[in-house]
A and B are shown apart, each in its own frame.
Chain A
């Protein structure tokens, strides 16, 4: 249910992040539409988390270049450039317009404050609510994220909740001020599979209800396929493929995407004793050793010396006329197309 709009909600252009050394995130460009769920997929070290934290202004001691432009709130025009935004203004946006949840919901919550106190803390920071209205809003939020006994939950400390409940509370905190964009950094990775499915359903339901866009960071393609409208594959700090989910899972264009898909365990693979489960050989090149050619070349089965090792292939659009945008970074995509 991608809502097509001409101007995206978030537009990241040539985002480059380094911590005084080589670039961790390198010339990253992508767009997030209003109400769209985009899965940011990649192995550890691909830059998906660092890129998101850079957009959120949560990186310290980082050198961030490029642009991340957040469209103005509905009815209030004026885009905001997030890169280089003064800390005070950035803080005013965080929680209110863009919010973020993380992998480990236990360590993300304050162990010393009750759930109610933590929700009120966020609500006070972003809304004028007071007294009974504040409490009512806190209860409504917990209801919204599917907590069965919201009033009882208010008085509990995080340690009394299960992992799934904690992540639900975390989501309630993140959406308390009704942000337009939610970064979800591996939010289901630490959870049981059944709970994972519940949380995914909850997040998707919240998007459908509120129209909030979401950047869903994951290394798990099964999770991505369950929630995403669009998939962006990152490799060694770059976007290597950006495609609508239904296209991506049917016919991925980049060899790396295909390798990722065939490495994902599916039921048939498990029944067959992981026999035809293929992992891309080798490792992601570290930030200092990425070279100037295609960064996947050293691990690619379809590598061709003159073509792939000559220069960095650009990100090219391969969508046919009338199709949704689909870009890929591969010099041989046409030859390799199935």
Chain B
């Protein structure tokens, strides 16, 4: 590795740290600008006095000027202390980790659905370019893209839970039921909701990438050499089109989190997204900031990881 490379890595790393810093400042300022106060949850408590309230505010550090609060918080983040929840004094990092599994499971299930459907639709569209099936997949993509997540979720709940009673309306489990089947039944609707609205991302990119490869001479040549269609589709088309999908995935995967925000709320799914909204309602600054930073780090890690995987997977970049 030459000094140029080291410089590049340093610059890239520095840039990403700077980005995180900006996100944290913007988040912190916006959060405190927003109306409402974490103390409001205490004001209505019986026997609450102004003195007692000031005492609580002091304990939370809310009596300090904003820049001192920020620096204090920043120092904590850097030293591994993400603070404690205003609501129950539990450590923020612990709260995030405890909500992580639900979001990851929902995200993976949604990803599996959207990736399979999206790649399949994109591939079909490219292979049937200009014919009916191409138009059908395009229209389906546009419709799915235009559907608001919360609306689709509510429709699913109404149709499949309220009307048909096939699936529960929300949460991860029913009381007293800890079985895997029960869990999967709870997972089905939120995963389908989040998965379906994410289909267009994959299908449109896949349609484009596969279409580009189909236009290349190599497909015609492979046919001229007598290779089977199946082999050409899997080995040339799928492989060639999935490769540029890796960087797309790096950019897109974190947006599952924002999608989860809505989906988790609609389906009372106890993940990071619902944690964020709940904490926002309580003006639980440490938790909100913690989730924000956690997501920001995830976004940066995801795109970096995608770059590395892309580099490793594309033989042209290795050579």
Contacts and interface: CB of A to CB of B under 8 A. Distances in A.
Contacts of B220: 58, 102, 108
Interface stretch (A87-95, A247-255, A260-268, A281-289): A87-95
Contacts of A102: 217, 220-221, 224
B221 A160 contact: no
Interface stretch (A3-11, A33-41, A121-129): A121-129
B222 A110 contact: yes
A96 interface: yes
B55 interface: no
B276 to A, nearest CB: 41
Pick the most buried of B216, B221, B231, B315: most chain A CB atoms within 10 A of its CB.
B221
Contacts of A121: 227, 231, 235
A177 B226 contact: yes
Contact of B221 (A91, A96, A109): A109
Interface string A126-166: 10000000000000000000000000000011011000000
B17 to A, nearest CB: 35
Given A110-B236, A112-B315, A122 B217 contact: no
Interface in A79-123: 91-96, 99-102, 104, 107-114, 121-122
A170 interface: yes
Nearest to B220: A58
Given A110-B236, A112-B240, A159-B319, A56 B218 contact: no
B164 to A, nearest CB: 44
B239 interface: yes
B11 interface: no
A110 B227 CA distance: 13
Contacts of B218: 107-111
Nearest to B131: A61
Contacts of B314: 112
B226 A96 contact: yes
A94 B316 contact: no
B316 A125 contact: no
Interface in B38-84: none
B224 A95 contact: yes
A111 B244 CA distance: 13
Contacts of B222: 110
Interface in B208-243: 216-218, 220-229, 231, 235-236, 239-240, 243
A294 interface: no
A112 B243 contact: yes
Nearest to B313: A112
User: Chain A at the B interface: mostly helix, strand, loop or mixed?
Assistant: mixed
A328 B226 CA distance: 35
Contact of A108 (B217, B228, B239, B316): B217
Contacts, number: 82
Contact of A94 (B217, B224, B235, B315): B224
Contacts of B316: 111-112, 157, 159
Contacts of A92: 226
A95 B239 contact: no
Nearest to B227: A125
A173 interface: yes
Contact of B226 (A101, A112, A126, A170): A126
A91 B216 contact: no
Interface string B283-319: 0000000000000000000000000000000111001
A32 interface: no
B319 A95 contact: no
A171 B225 CA distance: 11
A174 interface: yes
A133 B122 CA distance: 39
A102 B224 CA distance: 10
Given A110-B236, A157-B319, A122 B221 contact: no
A96 B315 CA distance: 29
B319 A125 contact: no
A174 B225 contact: yes
Interface in B256-292: none
Contacts of A99: 224-226
Nearest to A155: B319
Contacts of B235: 121
B225 A122 contact: yes
Given A110-B240, A111-B240, A170-B221, 18 more contacts: A91-B228, A93-B226, A94-B223, A94-B226, A96-B226, A99-B224, A102-B224, A108-B220, A108-B221, A110-B218, A110-B236, A111-B316, A112-B316, A122-B225, A122-B227, A125-B227, A174-B224, A177-B226
Interface of A: 56, 58, 91-96, 99-102, 104, 107-114, 121-122, 125-126, 156-157, 159-160, 170, 173-174, 176-177, 183
8 contacts: A94-B226, A95-B224, A99-B225, A101-B221, A110-B222, A125-B225, A157-B319, A160-B319
